[in-house]
Structure 1
């Protein structure tokens, strides 16, 4: 059985719609906030309608076996500084876990941008009884948008985060 869920995250960003749009479009800037957890990550990004992104990594949690993570997306609609619509698949150990349609809407505000992230997910494989999957996905999206906000925030460059398990920097 497939479970369908939808959520929207809205937040103010202290950057212009053009700067926010560039953070999605420019691969160098995007790598600063869009990452898969784990190590040995690889990324390919082609920001155009019909293009997409592929990301792979290996994640090892506490007391768990390593998991191979894969993210594959395709851009469906891009309206410069206004909207990005894309679909993506989340694959763990070569099995599709969920697929989503994401709409990112950027609205100009007097002191920045109002970002609306709406995600419509179809969970095809659950974790346990599936009761935590939407919370996990929503939480991961919030963390990703926290990274976007940090990249857009003016100020001195931030030091890369340290992975507490390995001691290595991002």
Structure 2
């Protein structure tokens, strides 16, 4: 998994994302067992400068086809602002501070979900300290306080 994610993120090998399918299929079974179906699935975005550099968001490569296969709704609800440091160099506390204020909820999408009891599945490639997912969830809750948020990652770097 580590090699696959590294190749996708840093070596431009988008086709390696197909390797996530067995892991995601297991999660599908778990969701069926729990009768869980999110209202929307929200990917953790990358900044515009990172997207220009890489050409894609690895989270989209890893999860979007699977989400579509489940007939779930993929929504690019969040925007990632430029300016945060690369996370791999930081401690847990530095990661938390680094992510603070670096996400925004797309204002054009708020009205579709405001004042509704929605279930959001946040998806990201790697969970290390939780700083990214917590900041994303906090950002969403500030605008959509009734949302119930769960998260799914493919790997843990902790």
**TM-score of the pair, normalised by structure 1:** 0.29
Structure with the bigger percentage of strand:
1
Structure with the bigger percentage of helix:
2
Give 1 or 2 for the bigger CA radius of gyration.
Answer: 1
